[in-house]
Amino acid sequence: MVYFTRDLSAEGLRRIYDRVKGHIIGKTGIKLHTGEAHGPNIIPRPWVENLIKTELPGAAIVETNTYYEGDRYTTGQHQETLKVNGWTFCPVDILDEDGTVAFPVKGGKWFTEMHMGSHLPNYDSLLVLTHFKGHTQGGFGGSAKNIGIGCADGRIGKAMIHTTPGSDDMWDIAKEEFMERMMESAKAVVDHFGEHICFVNVMRNMSVSCDCEGTAAAPVVTPNVGILASLDILAVDQACVDLVYAMKEEDHKDLVKRMESRHGLRQLTYMKELGMGNDRYRLIDIDHDDVAITAKDAVRDVVPFSDSHGSVS
């Protein structure tokens, strides 16, 4: 089951989260890509603030430091960037501030364990709140990328995913192998939280660039769509990809090219091979009495992207 709303607003986010929050208990982390300084496409801060105040009082945003040198490379730099981007209304826990913890990877072909930020086991539940968009290495970034890269610590875990030991090129692992390594890391997180994890993907301001590129991100040309949520990580990422493909050629061509040129669809097939979820799902339109719809139905009325309708606050 994947829930869908066209309502790109704080209230739309709250309403769709309400459909998947049933097993969120205890101390809750919200895995969010908080972005490089002044990043233009991140999930709007007021939406997240409203969600925490109304649904998740006491929750913390959780992040890890980056593998590349930039504004979030060290914990100190990261904390300053969080202030610049306005993530100041709740605690933000840099998970790898105090080192790493190894999570087992079950059934993987690349890893038996993955190094995560050492604070991650402090949480009882995880809301994976993802800005769905393109990605330079991954083709696209959905829920699986958000936790597969985003929970791995900045020095050991991310290096395990991105770099062949001894290589002079820190980004030498790419295409199918990169997708598989990233998905095995995501599986370690999903397995750790069990039923106490849910996934919300926001299909808005979908540049072909990740939020890690900040103000250097490619211009947005893909129409805004809506918000999707599920208890199934494969289903929610598959549904987002299906909605992109269901758009008109002129609307989706840039994002499709980015996904296919990086072999990004391997994320989905490898999640299925790892038993992480289902690629067949029912898409439930919560705007219209929970009727089941198709991907084409969901994107039928999307409007070609423009700054005026894309800059949602």
Q: Where are the domains of the chain?
A: 2-310
CB atoms under 10 Å from CB of 252, counted, come to 21
- How large is the average pLDDT for residues 171-183? 97
Q: Is the pLDDT of residue 36 over 60?
A: yes
Dump pLDDT digits (tens) for 222-260.
999 999 999 999 999 999 999 999 999 999 999 999 999
Predicted local distance difference test score (pLDDT) of residue 313: 38
| Residue in the structure block whose two tokens are 């991954």 | 138
Predicted local distance difference test score (pLDDT) of residue 307: 58
> What's the chain's length in residues?
313
Q: Is the pLDDT of residue 310 over 70?
A: no
For 200, half-sphere exposure in the C-beta direction (CA atoms, 13 angstrom radius) is 26
Q: Is the pLDDT of residue 57 over 50?
A: yes
E-state strands within 32-109: 60-63, 92-94, 100-104
Dump pLDDT digits (tens) for 113-124.
999 999 999 999
Predicted local distance difference test score (pLDDT) of residue 215: 74
Dump pLDDT digits (tens) for 242-251.
999 999 999 9
- CA proximity to 100, closest of 178, 163, 158: 158
CATH number for domain 2-310, candidates 3.90.1010, 3.30.2250, 3.40.50, 2.60.40:
3.40.50
pLDDT band, residue 309 (cuts 50/70/90): very low
Q: pLDDT above 70 covers what percent of the chain?
A: 97
Helix (H, G, I), strand (E, B) or coil at 130: strand
Q: Is the pLDDT of residue 308 over 60?
A: no
The pTM of this model reads 0.96
Q: Is the pLDDT of residue 46 over 90?
A: yes
